[in-house]
Amino acid sequence: MSVKIVFNHVRNMFSDKEEKKTPTPPKKKSCTSPNCTCSQPSSAFINLDLKSMIGSQGMKNTADDVSTGIDSIIDSYEPDKAELPEDLTTSCGSGCGCNNGSHQTQNNQKTGVHQLFDKKVDRRQALGMLAGTVGAAVMTTGCSSIVDPKIKEKAKLTWEEYFKGNFRLMTDTEKNNTVKRLERLTQLNHRFHPEIKSTQARKNVLYGYAFNISKCRGYMDCVKGCVKENNLDPETGMQYIRIFEMKKGKMSLEGADGNYHHEVPVEGNFYMGTQCFQCENPPCVPVCPVSATWKEPDGIVVVDYDWCIGCRYCEAACPYWARRFNWKAPKVNKEKVNKQQHYLGNRVRDKGVVEKCTFCIQRTREGKNPACVEACPTGARIFGNLLDPKSEIRWVLANKKVFRLKEELGTEPKFWYFMD
C-alpha cells in the first residue's frame, strides 16, 4: 500500500506539468530583504524612485523573448528605451532595482516567507505528506517506540524531498514548501539555520559582466570572496573563478598559469579571470538528460542540485571549464557558512551533483553585486544590467573595444574582456 501512495504522489507531482509550463501572468517579486542598502561605493548606485519602478513593470519585452546574440538582445531593447523611466536607467550597475523594498508591497504574488502562511493543502500535498509519514514509518520500523522524534522528522523530510519535482516546474507553493523543508533539514543535518530564498528573476534584467584586463593584478581576492560567499568546499579547494597569469605577447590560454603561488603582479605578465560566462546560448543546457540545468530569464544558467543525476555531460559540454562536480560530500562549517542562501545558488549541496557560478544569484537577485565584484580591490570587475542603457556595463560595451573567449563557438557569453 505504501508503494502505491508514493507512486500516486509522484504521478500527481507531474500531472500538471503542462499547466505549469504555460506562461503565468506577469507577477512581481518581493524584495524579501527590505534592509538591502546596496552599499556599493560606486556613485552609479542611486536608489530608485518607487513609482517609476512600478511603472516599469509595464514594459513589454522580457529577457527570454530574445534568443539571438547579445548585441541583438540589446538592440531589440533599444526601442523600449523611451519607456524606461529615467530613474531606473540610472540605477545601480546591477540593474537590480534595489530600492529598499517598500515599492513592492503592492505585489499580488507573495514569495518567500509570506507564502508560507497562505499554505493551502491540496490533494497532492496531502499525498506528499502521507508519503512522508509512510517513509518515516518505513525507515524507523523496528525501533519506532524508542526512536528520537528528530530522526523521524528527518526521515520524513528526506523522503518528501526525494520525491519532489524539478524546481523549474514547481508551483510557487511547492517551491516554498521545499525551501521550508530544506531549511529544516539543514538545521537537522548541519546544525545551523539558513535563510533559503527562491527569489525569481527580475523583469527587464539581463545580467552581464565585464573584466578589465588592464586593471587585474592577480590578487585573487575575488576567488576568496567567491569561495566564502558560495560556501565552496574548503577540503576539495573548489573554485568557480580561475585567474590565469599570462605572458605578454599572446592572448591564448595555452601555457597560461592558472595555479601560481607567488607575489603578484609579476613584471611582464598580465592576469585574466574566467568563471561561468552565463552564455546566452549555453552548450551545457541542452545536453542535460533530465533538464536539471537551464537559463533563467535574467540570463543566469542555474542547476537544480536536487534534480541533477550527476552524469557530468554538462561538464564535458562546457567550452570554458565553468562547471564543478561534487566528487565528495562538501564540508559545511556551521560557523563560517554563509546563511543567506538561494535554492539555485549557494545552499548546501549533496555529493554527486554539479554546481557552478551563478553570478551570486542569492545576492544579485536581491539587488547586490556578486561577491567577486565586491571583493576586487582594483575595480577590474564590472557587473550590471545589459538592458539598462545607462548601466556601467553598457558604457563599457559602448566605449571600449571588448572581446569574448571562443566567440567562434557561438555560445554568446555575457562576459566581456576589455583593456584601458
Would you say 244 and 274 are in contact if contact means Cβ atoms under 8 Å apart?
Answer: yes
State in angstroms the smallest separation of the CB of 13 from other proteins.
8
State in angstroms the smallest separation of the CB of 314 from other proteins.
9
> Residue 394: which of 404, 382, 380 has the closest Cα?
382
Comparison of 57 and 189: residue with beta carbon closer to other proteins: 189
Comparison of 50 and 253: residue with beta carbon closer to other proteins: 253
Comparison of 101 and 352: residue with beta carbon closer to other proteins: 352
Residues that bind other proteins (CB under 8 A): 10-11, 14, 162, 165-166, 169, 236, 242, 244, 252-256, 258-259, 274, 283, 286-292, 307-313, 315-321, 323-329, 350-354, 409-410
State in angstroms the smallest separation of the CB of 75 from other proteins.
26
Rounded to the nearest angstrom, the gap between the alpha carbon of residue 340 and the centroid of all alpha carbons in its chain is 13
Comparison of 165 and 345: residue with beta carbon closer to other proteins: 165
Comparison of 12 and 340: residue with beta carbon closer to other proteins: 12
Cell numbers 500516486: residue: 8
The angle, 0 to 180 degrees and rounded to 10, between the axes of the packed helices 172-190 and 149-162 is 140
Q: In what order do the strands lie in the sheet with 207-212?
A: 381-385, 207-212, 415-418, 402-403
State in angstroms the smallest separation of the CB of 115 from other proteins.
24
Cell (9 digits) for 336: 563560517
Q: What is the DSSP letter of 273?
A: E
State in angstroms the smallest separation of the CB of 350 from other proteins.
8
Other CB atoms within 10 Å distance of the CB of residue 190: 14
State in angstroms the smallest separation of the CB of 8 from other proteins.
12
Spell out the long-range contacts of 313-316 with Cβ–Cβ below 8 A and sequence spacing 24 or more: 313/287, 313/288, 313/289, 314/284, 314/285, 314/287, 314/288, 314/354, 315/284, 315/354, 316/287
> Residue 269: which of 250, 247, 253, 249 has the closest Cα?
247
Comparison of 151 and 287: residue with beta carbon closer to other proteins: 287
343: left (phi over 0), alpha (psi -120 to 50) or beta: alpha
Name the CA dihedral angle for 373, 376, 377, 383, rounded to a multiple of 10 degrees. -30
State in angstroms the smallest separation of the CB of 308 from other proteins.
7
Comparison of 47 and 68: residue with beta carbon closer to other proteins: 68
DSSP string covering 295-327? E-TTS-EEE-TTT-----HHHHH-TT--EEE-S
State in angstroms the smallest separation of the CB of 316 from other proteins.
6
Could you tell me whether strands 207-212 and 381-385 are parallel, antiparallel, or unpaired per DSSP bridges? antiparallel
Report, in angstroms and rounded to the nearest whole number, the Rg of the chain calculated over CA atoms: 22
Comparison of 307 and 343: residue with beta carbon closer to other proteins: 307
Distance CA 187, CA 113 (A): 17
Distance CA 396, CA 209 (A): 10
Would you say 239 and 227 are in contact if contact means Cβ atoms under 8 Å apart?
Answer: yes
Comparison of 90 and 281: residue with beta carbon closer to other proteins: 281
State in angstroms the smallest separation of the CB of 254 from other proteins.
4
Comparison of 227 and 354: residue with beta carbon closer to other proteins: 354
State in angstroms the smallest separation of the CB of 228 from other proteins.
20
Cell (9 digits) for 343: 535554492
Cell (9 digits) for 182: 530544506
Comparison of 101 and 310: residue with beta carbon closer to other proteins: 310
Distance CA 357, CA 282 (A): 14
State in angstroms the smallest separation of the CB of 260 from other proteins.
12
Secondary element (H or E) of residue 340: strand 340-342
